[in-house]
Amino acid sequence: MQLVGSKASQRLDEIGEGSVTLLPIEPEDMWHANNLIGAEDIVKAHAIRKVTTESKTGSTMSERVHTDLTIRVTSTFFDPGASQLHVSGTVIVENNFVSLGQYHTLDLELNRAFTLWKKYGWDSVARETLSDALKQDKEGAVAAVVMQEGVANICLITEYRTILKQRVESTIPKKRSSSTEQDSGMKRFFDKTLSTLMRSIDFSIPRPLLLASPGFVAGDFKKYISDEGARRADKKMMAMAKEATVVHSSSGHLHSLNEILKSSEVTATMKDMKFSKETRFMDDFFDKLRKDDGRAWYGTVPVEKAVKEGAVGRGGGILLINNSLFRSQEIATRRRYVAMVDKVKEDGGEARILSSDHESGQRLDALGGIAALLTYPMLDLDDDEDEEDADGQADTEENMI
């Protein structure tokens, strides 16, 4: 993503209440744009509009025209597979082709700029999201094949999300069949998986490759890649095999990816990548939660109370929060979470905004989307929740009486 126009020379903390014009240049940028654009924001972008005109004789003619539209956003839809972002809303600036109040969906495109106004200004979380989008030194995405006999899931793990590129399925003769039939079935499966892998992911850019499976399937597939590379004299394929890391997993299905990212082989080679750090944070949180010593809490009310008390500050305090919570259409709700992030940073703690499109974010989502590791133990932080529930129940009973 690139910042264009007069704001390109500004520091991010100087943007304030104004607009920014952004140029998405790669598919990952659409994911960032989806996190930046919220309900009630204003977006101006290129659009293709179907216009119907009527001639003097009464006949009608339809044509598609190119124009720029400015809309007030009501919703967004992001297609992770195609990396396409559709932004819907009502037109607030009329032109020759559209009237005020008409509904339109903008399809944001790569290499075509759009302008964004944040209705409630650029708070700290919005500026951090924009900063992430503008990073030029992005870490390379990791290719992964999670497989078992007859099934392979080909994934691309970027810094912010996991994308399932293709799923390969092939029939393998059962073990009671002759070994020749089974060998030939595995060869067909490996050949299909390799060709799909090469087609789905660009290996002209050097990137790590993870091969994971129960048993020896991943190891055999790595040997197959190496042998095919030597047979075809394909240097790219031979380099792929050399750099590939074989990891054990409990199954060949996509949910095993979280288990794979925690393995010692993966953490050793990719310890500095964002998603690997987030996986470690979630593991640390669950370890402390099992100890039940008052230093690990989850849920909005307990975590907010700990933050206000300064318990998520300097000396190991970590706030873990899902980016989906900042997409709330209730501005008061968004500001509540932004205030927690700001307070933790002010107290010297670490605030980590996890992606709900990564396994670590999905684990956090199961806890309500927010959790914290405290610098010192605090007990009974969830008493307020119980009291609120009891008060609400008492009010209900009183009203019934």
**Tokens at 37, concatenated:** 């654009």
Residue with tokens 């133990």: 377
pLDDT band at 10 (very low <50, low <70, confident <90, very high): very low
* Cα–Cα separations (whole angstroms), residue 167 to 146, 163, 183, 289: 10, 11, 21, 36
**Cα atoms in the 13 Å half-sphere on the side-chain side of 14:** 6
3-state secondary structure of 293: coil
The b/e string for 182-210 (b: 16+ C-beta within 10 A; e otherwise) is beebbeebbeebbebbeebbeeeeebbbb
Residue 75 has pLDDT above 70, yes or no: yes
Residue 211 CA to residue 147 CA, distance in Å, equals 8
Give the tens place of pLDDT for each residue, 236-279: 898 888 888 899 998 988 888 877 877 777 766 665 566 667 77
Residue 86: its pLDDT value, please? 92
Q: Which residues pair with 290 in a beta bridge?
A: none
Residue 345: its pLDDT value, please? 92
* Cα–Cα separations (whole angstroms), residue 261 to 115, 247, 281: 37, 9, 12
Its pTM stands at 0.60
Give the tens place of pLDDT for each residue, 83-118: 788 999 999 988 888 889 989 899 998 888 999 998
Which residues have a Cβ under 8 Å from the Cβ of 21 and sit 6 or more positions away? 3, 4, 5, 7, 113, 114, 115, 116
322 or 331: whose pLDDT is higher? 322
Say what percent of the chain tops pLDDT 90. 32
271 or 25: whose pLDDT is higher? 25
Residue 28: its pLDDT value, please? 77
214 or 98: whose pLDDT is higher? 214
Q: What is the dihedral sign for C-alpha 306, 308, 313, 318? A: positive
Burial (0-12, 13-18, 19+ Cβ within 10 Å), 233: exposed
Query: Phi and psi at residue 146, in whole multiples of 5°?
Result: -100, 120
Residue 58 has pLDDT above 90, yes or no: no
Residue 210 has pLDDT above 50, yes or no: yes
Q: What is the dihedral sign for C-alpha 208, 213, 216, 218? A: negative
First and final CA of the chain: distance in angstroms? 60
- pLDDT winner (highest mean) among 61-70, 359-368, 370-379: 370-379
What is the residue type of 214?
Answer: P
* Cα–Cα separations (whole angstroms), residue 284 to 175, 317, 354: 42, 12, 15
- pLDDT winner (highest mean) among 121-135, 217-231, 351-365, 381-395: 217-231
Give the tens place of pLDDT for each residue, 330-360: 778 888 999 999 999 999 999 998 887 777 8
CB–CB of 129/142 below 8 Å? Answer: no
Residue 140: its pLDDT value, please? 62
Residue 60 has pLDDT above 80, yes or no: no
Ranges of beta strands (E only) in 55-150 are: 60-79, 84-91, 103-108, 114-117, 142-148
What is the residue type of 158?
Answer: T
